[in-house]
Every structure is written in structure tokens, then in C-alpha cells.
């Protein structure tokens, strides 16, 4: 399938679905990647509508919908037990026709109200796409599972394994735009009819899964994912640390397993394949904001971490602005003399705390080189070769730790005569970098336009201000 056809399919699916474009796009992407999606939202925001439109995207597909309650039984989900087979053949087997095991697209509302028997069966369904019916193990035709609720799973009730099966977690909010809201109230609902030539066949579905596995993952994408992972792990291990060198503001940092990271990369590869590319790019990495949080307290922090990591990564790998403006040597040497009061250590600031790095170790860092570091109890950052959770790199204004940069304190001995020109040049280049990044986002059919992601704007604005304020 080519990109234009997927784009046309999404446009048709989104007709009359106000402010649900991204939700529908992510639902389709998750199904084509072989994953499941969970929608968090109040009643009446269109969660079931999204599932019905997803069913229409596949040729000859069947659907199954069910509203869970604490009294729901496996019979209502997987089919009733065949009395004749139990009586005549002494075989415990369900009549599955018309129930979940025979459906292509499944929508389970209020999923956390399901009992343990249903939850345990769903684990195998979601993970392996198989269902054991009596003595038979059935390979399911399942292409998509959308679960929904107006709440997240309650801790301590054994729902963690089922929750982990939903790779994408998305918050569906009521319509914000005034005119779209009024159109919903006043206008006749727009029919969603998908032409047969746009629908995805079984063969095409399988080809997408195979083709996505061939997508290349560039070095910079691996570096970005490793950086985010390292920051999350450090935040989990140092929740009560007096000096938070990540500045990630993470509340109860989420745990992301290696298996989940593997699935996230699979999702990014599928996005790249359906966008007609042979390799993953940074627009695909934006999808991680919907895959890393466990509770709603973490959503803002995860978005902030991913946005700032993307901005820093794009600046680093796509445009060496400092090399263009002030030459290679100054790319890694701050302007003005660095303060080294004891002659051995430079000083940099982490919030209100002074932290020290050995002068000789810092000066020996080569442009673009990554090293590793550890923090000591006496506020010293030790740079070493042994792999640790802290990745160290020299920057124009000081030092980068994982995805976050800090300025080294320096004297005011600034060479005059070119500062204004340099600042103007940096502003221009930084604007060009953001525009270039925005074009990547706008070209990805599974994302909204760049203007719809204010947190990305904020990340680039923060990077611009830090560059201009601390770099000169």
C-alpha cells in the first residue's frame, strides 16, 4: 500500500469526526503494527465511533463490541458453552461464532470492570492472537483491539499485565473548538462510507507487517531512544536524589520494559513503512508520547521529556549550527574563560546547586564524543569510559548530561566585535532547524500538524533561549 492511499483512507475515516483525526490515525496505526490501543475518556466523546470506523477500514471484516460490568461472564465475550458437545462428547467447547474469537476488530468498553476469568483469557488474545477453545487452540483473525474506560486501572487489583498489553494509551477529550462543537450540535451527521478500493485486504495487512520489519533504524534514532530510556531509568532510581540532573520533572517515573521498547520500535517502523520511507525518522519518534506513561500524573512529564529530547536530537544530528557560524573549534569551547577556582574543576549549575567537573577530563572531550559519568556525594561529576546511566557530551556552553544541557560558569571576558552577528545568525539557524523539523511532522500521516503540538514549540523555544543566553 502506498502513502497516498493510506492518507485517503484516513481522511475518509475522519469525515464528521471532529477533533478525532489523531485518535483515528493512531488506532489504524496500532492495528497495522499488530498492537492494541486504550482510549481514556469520559462517556460520550466518541470512543465507540472510532472502533466502528476502524472496522470499516478492512475488507470483509467483522466486529465485536461489549460493555463490561462486574457481572460480565466469559460466555458473553467468548461465546456460550456448547451443551450438545458437553453432553454427547464430554467436551467443554464454546460456540464462538459472533463473539470475540471470530471478530477482526474488537471494542471492549469499561475494560477494567471485567472479572479475572475474562482478563486472563484476554492476555493470550492480545499478546499471541490465539484462543484456546476446549482442546483446540484457535488462531484468531484479530486485527485490532480497542479498549476504553473513563478511568485507569486501579493499582493492587492485578490489572498490570493486561494494562501493559496496550501499547498506545490515548486521552480522548471533548471537542474544544467552538465552531466544530456547534457544527456537531446543529448539522446533520456526515456519513462515513469507505470505498472498497481504499479498504485494506488480508493480503495487504500481512504485507504491511512483513514490510515494516525491513525498515532501517538510523543511528540517531537509536541514540534518541537510548537517551529517553536512560533518563527514565535514572529518574526511577533517584526519585529522592538531592540533585536532579535530568530536569525531567518526572512524577513517579514509569517503568518501561525491554519488551515494551521493542514494541515501540515496531510501531515506529510501521509508521515509517506506511509513510513510504525505508527508515525511521524523528517524526515517528513523537509517537512515544502515547506509549511511555502509566498514569495521568506522568503524561505531562513524559511529553516534556520526549519533546526536549527530540528538539536536542534534531539540533545535534540535522544541523551543526555552531560549526556553520563560528567554526569548528568554538563549537566545543564556550566564549569567555571558564571559572576554575581551585585550578582542578570547572563549575556548572544544576538548578540552584553547584556541581563540579574535572578540568582535565572536560578539556579532553572531543567534538561529538560521548562518554559516561557518575555523580559523587560531594557534587562532582566524574567522567569515565565505563558505561553508566549518565551520557556526557561537551556543548558550546558547557556540558550535556543525557538529553539536557548545562552551562559552565565562566568569567565575563568575552571577545567583542562579533557577538551581535553571531546571535542573529544563531536565531536564524535555530528558526531554520525548527521549520525543518516541522516539515517532518507535517509529512507524517499519523500525526497532526506541527501547530497542534504546543509542547514541541515550547521545547524549541527553550532551546533557543538557552542557546542565546548561556552560549555567549
Which of 184, 209, 234 terminates a domain? The answer is 209
Q: 209-261: per-residue pLDDT in tens?
A: 999 999 999 988 998 999 899 888 877 776 554 434 444 455 578 889 999 99
Q: Domain check: are 107 and 157 in the same one?
A: yes
In a domain, 167, yes or no: yes
In a domain, 47, yes or no: yes
Which of 191, 209, 227 terminates a domain? The answer is 209
In a domain, 288, yes or no: yes
Q: What is the CATH number of the domain that holds 8?
A: 3.40.50.300
- pLDDT (tens, 9 = 90+) of the chain, 472 residues, equals 799 999 999 999 999 899 999 999 999 999 999 999 999 999 888 899 999 999 999 999 999 999 999 999 999 999 999 998 888 888 888 999 999 999 999 999 999 999 999 999 999 999 899 999 888 899 999 999 999 999 999 888 889 999 999 999 999 999 999 998 999 899 887 788 999 999 999 999 999 999 999 999 998 899 899 989 988 887 777 655 443 444 445 557 888 999 999 999 999 999 999 999 999 999 999 999 999 999 988 999 999 999 999 988 887 766 444 444 433 333 344 445 566 666 788 888 877 788 888 888 888 887 667 888 888 888 888 988 888 888 888 877 788 888 777 888 766 554 444 455 556 666 677 788 888 999 999 999 999 999 999 999 999 888 777 666 544 3
| Rounded alpha-carbon distances, angstroms, from residue 457 to 32, 298, 403, 444, 460 | 30, 20, 17, 17, 5
| Rounded alpha-carbon distances, angstroms, from residue 301 to 250, 257, 441 | 5, 18, 21
In a domain, 204, yes or no: yes
Q: Domain check: are 72 and 85 in the same one?
A: yes
Which of 177, 209, 241 terminates a domain? The answer is 209
The helix or strand, by DSSP H or E, that contains position 374, with its residue range, turns out to be strand 371-375
As a whole number of angstroms, the distance between CA 263 and CA 446 comes to 17
Q: Domain check: are 95 and 82 in the same one?
A: yes
Q: Domain check: are 65 and 203 in the same one?
A: yes
Q: Domain check: are 147 and 121 in the same one?
A: yes
pLDDT at residue 467, as a whole number: 64
pLDDT at residue 359, as a whole number: 86
Q: Domain check: are 356 and 310 in the same one?
A: no
How many separate helices (H) and strands (E) can be counted in the chain? Answer: 17, 14
Q: How many CB atoms lie within 10 A of CB 376?
A: 10
In a domain, 398, yes or no: yes
In a domain, 426, yes or no: no
Q: Domain check: are 327 and 308 in the same one?
A: no
Q: Domain check: are 24 and 136 in the same one?
A: yes
Strands 371-375 and 390-394: antiparallel
In a domain, 427, yes or no: no
As a whole number of angstroms, the distance between CA 446 and CA 316 comes to 25
Q: Domain check: are 264 and 331 in the same one?
A: no
pLDDT at residue 420, as a whole number: 55
Q: Domain check: are 280 and 327 in the same one?
A: no
Q: Domain check: are 248 and 375 in the same one?
A: no
The domain in which residue 242 lies consists of 219-319+432-470
pLDDT at residue 377, as a whole number: 84
Q: Domain check: are 167 and 92 in the same one?
A: yes
| Rounded alpha-carbon distances, angstroms, from residue 432 to 154, 263, 321, 328, 425 | 46, 33, 10, 20, 11
In a domain, 151, yes or no: yes
Question: How many domains does one find in the chain?
Answer: 3
| Cell numbers given for 249 | 520533572
What secondary structure letter does DSSP report for 256? -
Amino acid at each position: 500500500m502506498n502513502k497516498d492511499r493510506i492518507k485517503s483512507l484516513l481522511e475518509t475515516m475522519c469525515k464528521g469526526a471532529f477533533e478525532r483525526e489523531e485518535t483515528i490515525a493512531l488506532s489504524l496505526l496500532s492495528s497495522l503494527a499488530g498492537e492494541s490501543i486504550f482510549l481514556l475518556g469520559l462517556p460520550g466523546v466518541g470512543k465507540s465511533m472510532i472502533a466502528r470506523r476502524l472496522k470499516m477500514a478492512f475488507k470483509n471484516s467483522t466486529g465485536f463490541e461489549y460493555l463490561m460490568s462486574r457481572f460480565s461472564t466469559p460466555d458473553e465475550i467468548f461465546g456460550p458453552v456448547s451443551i450438545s458437545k458437553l453432553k454427547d462428547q464430554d467436551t467443554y467447547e464454546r460456540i464462538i461464532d459472533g463473539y470475540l474469537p471470530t471478530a477482526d476488530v474488537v471494542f471492549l468498553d469499561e475494560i477494567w470492570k471485567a472479572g479475572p476469568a475474562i482478563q486472563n483469557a484476554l492476555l493470550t488474545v492480545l499478546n499471541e492472537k490465539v484462543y484456546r477453545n476446549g482442546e483446540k487452540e484457535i488462531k484468531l483473525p484479530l486485527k485490532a483491539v480497542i479498549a476504553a474506560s473513563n478511568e485507569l486501572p486501579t493499582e493492587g487489583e492485578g490489572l498490570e499485565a493486561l494494562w501493559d498489553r496496550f501499547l498506545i494509551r490515548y486521552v480522548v477529550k471533548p471537542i474544544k473548538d467552538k465552531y466544530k462543537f456547534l457544527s456537531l450540535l446543529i448539522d446533520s451527521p456526515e456519513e462515513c462510507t469507505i470505498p472498497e478500493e481504499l479498504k485494506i485486504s488480508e493480503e495487504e495487512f500481512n504485507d504491511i507487517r512483513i514490510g515494516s520489519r525491513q525498515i532501517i533504524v538510523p543511528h540517531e534514532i537509536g541514540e534518541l531512544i537510548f537517551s529517553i530510556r536512560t533518563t527514565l531509568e535514572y529518574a526511577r532510581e533517584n526519585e529522592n536524589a538531592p540533585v536532579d540532573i535530568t530536569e525531567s520533572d518526572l512524577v513517579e517515573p514509569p517503568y518501561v520494559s525491554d519488551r515494551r521498547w521493542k514494541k515501540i520500535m515496531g510501531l515506529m517502523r510501521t509508521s515509517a513503512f506506511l509513510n513510504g520511507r525505508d527508515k525511521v525518522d524523528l517524526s515517528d519518534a513523537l509517537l512515544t508520547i502515547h506509549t511511555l506513561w502509566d498514569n495521568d500524573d506522568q503524561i505531562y512529564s513524559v511529553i516534556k521529556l520526549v519533546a526536549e529530547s527530540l528538539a536536542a536530537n534534531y539540533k545535534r544530528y540535522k544541523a551543526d549550527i555552531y560549526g556553520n557560524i563560528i567554526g569548528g573549534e568554538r563549537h566545543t569551547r564556550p566564549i569567555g574563560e571558564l571559572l576554575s577556582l581551585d585550578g582542578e574543576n570547572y563549575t556548572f549549575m544544576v538548578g540552584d546547586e553547584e556541581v563540579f567537573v574535572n578540568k582535565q577530563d572536560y578539556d579532553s572531550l572531543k567534538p561529538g564524543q560521548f562518554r559516561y559519568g557518575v555523580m559523587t556525594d560531594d557534587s562532582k561529576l566524574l567522567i569515565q569510559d565505563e558505561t553508566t546511566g549518565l551520557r556526557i557530551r561537551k556543548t558550546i556552553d558547557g556540558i550535556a548530561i543525557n538529553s539536557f544541557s548545562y552551562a559552565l560558569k565562566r568569567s565575563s571576558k568575552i571577545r567583542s566585535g562579533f557577538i551581535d552577528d553571531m546571535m542573529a545568525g544563531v536565531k536564524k539557524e535555530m528558526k531554520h532547524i525548527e521549520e525543518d523539523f516541522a516539515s517532518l511532522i507535517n509529512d507524517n500521516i499519523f500525526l497532526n500538524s506541527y501547530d497542534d503540538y504546543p509542547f514541541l514549540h515550547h521545547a524549541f523555544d527553550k532551546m533557543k533561549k538557552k542557546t542565546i543566553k548561556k552560549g555567549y
